[in-house]
Structure 1
Amino acid sequence: MNHPIWQPAGIHGADQAMRIDFHAEQNRYAYAGRRADASWMEAICGWLDPVGRRVADIGCGGGIYTKAWAEMGASAVVGVDFSQVMLEAAKETCRDCPNVTLVRGDALRTGMPGESTDVVFARALIHHLDELDGFFAEAARLLVPGGLAIVQDRTMEDVSLPGSPTHLRGYFFSRFPRLLELEKERRPADSDVQDAMRTAGFQAIHRDVLWETRRVYSGWEELEQDLLKRNGRSILHALSDEELRALVAAMKQEIASDGIIVERDRWTIWIGTKQ
């Protein structure tokens, strides 16, 4: 069935320039295949008690965090994504979670009933959108009064940090500065996010910073394969295969580890309450 809900409303021009195709079969597992780390779960539980909550995970991708909400005790979790390919991966990820439902829908027009959820969660979504106002209006529509919007994304302050053996993302930009210019086009400013939340009627807006352990690798070979596949790293789609191999070779010299590698990313979290 053709319907505008299946199209990515307000997708950011910078993402189009990176040529990432969320509908391509070869990218099915790009946003799956790992678990949400305990550092993320602990942070969520510090902001609210997930037990018994109804959660909408907008832009759920391969379902990593959809599953995490279910495992933390949410009574029902709806994962929404505009890509059927991503949803197929999410279906595999969440196959043991009977309280998870997966829905194909757009971040600005989910198709879900109004006032049907207690928490709207969006991780690594809003930097893909031009329409912050539209997204937060939809989030407010979905939430019951007193419900929470929890948005996790990176600002330029987050992505501009230098690379290190734990903060791997910083190496991308030191090796290829043009990637940082792409980030400037798509990364949300804190003031813009908070303005959009207030416009949508959210109050008691709180901003926090989270260092989340993204993944623990058994060694360099496992990390190398993850990088070369561009798993969960849309920015790397702006590099040719040759450039990516050069980046990985340079990172190997910087990291120089034969043991476990712990990758951590810095995120900004915005939390607002629907009145």
Structure 2
Amino acid sequence: MVGSKDLQPSTTPFFPNVFINNQFRAKPQWPAPNTNLAGQTAIITGGNTGLGYEAAVQLLGLKLSHLILAVRSPEKGEAAAANLRKSHPKASIEVWQLDMCSYDSILGFARRVERRLSRIDIVLLNAGVGRLTFNKVKSTGHEEVLQVNYLSTVLLAILLLPILKTKGSPGRQPAHLTIVSAALTLAAKFPNRDTNPLLPSFDNPETFDPREHYNSSKLLAHIEGHRAGTRRQRRVEGGSHSL
């Protein structure tokens, strides 16, 4: 599929048109028929439900050997893993706890990845949240949607990137890390874009807008992923091969 950094700006004037096209008209781009992930390891955050669970099903269907579901609730994660093991008994499927509202949990997860895994091929940072009411994360002081969808997701990506460099399969393609965004980034108005400093402006309950906070949080993650991809391309063009 085309990377977000290679997509042209949207010229669609009405966002529902984007939704209708994506849901009912666009054809999915399936992997090549000979795609085989045997021997490979993948990590999916928020892999017990929704898009994360479906991604797990798809990867296991391509003969993925080792899957780690990174989830906030181990109980829900184990329930999802049990279903996946029934369909794919040959795969090794683990459940690791990861609370995206806790910096300590994120740091601990990254250390566990570095310590426990000898190989990593795919990371899908899929975990996300949307809230209809304002909720502040006590341990960080930030509004929860911003915390999970942007701050914690980007932190985890930064922590994992150097690990992926050292644990990718030698002699093959480098490990891949994907941040799952949302088409609603196209609808983000980002009304506080000029606020300085920016982050505290998301933490004011008086200006909380459920739709805008979600859209903007996804947009910020999208921008960060684009910037990282651009920096990586510059390094590759300069002769350095790194994630």
Bin the TM-score by the shorter chain. 0.3 to 0.5
The structure that is helix-richer by fraction is: 2
Higher relative contact order (CA 8 A, sep 6+): 1
Larger strand proportion of the pair: 1
